[in-house]
Amino acid sequence: MLKSLSALAMGVSLVLGSVAFTDACADSKIGTVSVPYVYSKIPQAKAAEDKVNKATASKSKAVEKLQSQGESLQKSLNDPKLDNEARAKKQRELQILQTEFQVKFSELREEQQKMMVKEKIEIDKKIEEAIKNVAKQNNIDVVIRAESLLYISNDSIDLSEKVIDAVSKAK
């Protein structure tokens, strides 16, 4: 009996709480922002990617060189004129080269990811600041990520383009 009373009380409080929340939001202006869309359009995202690629270009070329060497060595293994000793030697060389390639490739990806995380943090700060400013300028009470929504009425305002403009103008 006590369990059912507390369950009933919890249910009533949830219903009343959601009604109160709905009433509070009824007078609010709601805006949405598609953050992935903003990222795809702002110049800072492309600049960050270019910066990371430029910083890791020499390592990237070294990895590409190892890959090319491995492909060349793999082709040479297909030569029917190779005797067993030469074939075994080339296979060992290929295994060593593949191991080196995997290590260098992993190091390169890890370095690129670390650098992109740092760049993304800075871009995120700019986007967040732009969202706040655009919301204030447009008297928006609540801003929600558009990709999180299942449904929203036509009363909401998409702020994505305004945020893109604001971030694009930021230094």
pLDDT tens per residue, range 31-47: 999 999 999 999 999 99
Report how far apart, in Å, the C-alpha atoms of 96 and of each of 32, 65, 73, 136 are.
Answer: 53, 14, 11, 60
71 vs 47: CA distance, rounded Å: 33
Encoding tokens for residue 79? 């030569």
Domains of the chain: 28-169 (3.30.910.20)
Q: Is the pLDDT of residue 155 over 80?
A: no
pLDDT tens per residue, range 14-24: 555 444 445 55
Instruction: Compute φ and ψ for 143, nearest 5 degrees.
Output: -120, 130
pLDDT at 26: 61
Question: What band does 103 get if pLDDT is binned at 50, 70 and 90?
Answer: very high
pLDDT tens per residue, range 116-148: 999 999 999 999 999 999 999 999 999 999 888
Question: What band does 11 get if pLDDT is binned at 50, 70 and 90?
Answer: low
171 vs 169: CA distance, rounded Å: 7
High-pLDDT (> 70) share of the chain, %: 82
| Tokens 């060593």, residue located | 96
DSSP-derived 3-state class of residue 144: strand
Q: Is there a contact between 160 and 32 (Cβ–Cβ < 8 Å)?
A: yes
| Tokens 């800072």, residue located | 44
Report the 3 state secondary structure along 27-69. Answer: CCCEEEECHHHHHHHCHHHHHHHHHHHHHCHHHHHHHHHHHHH
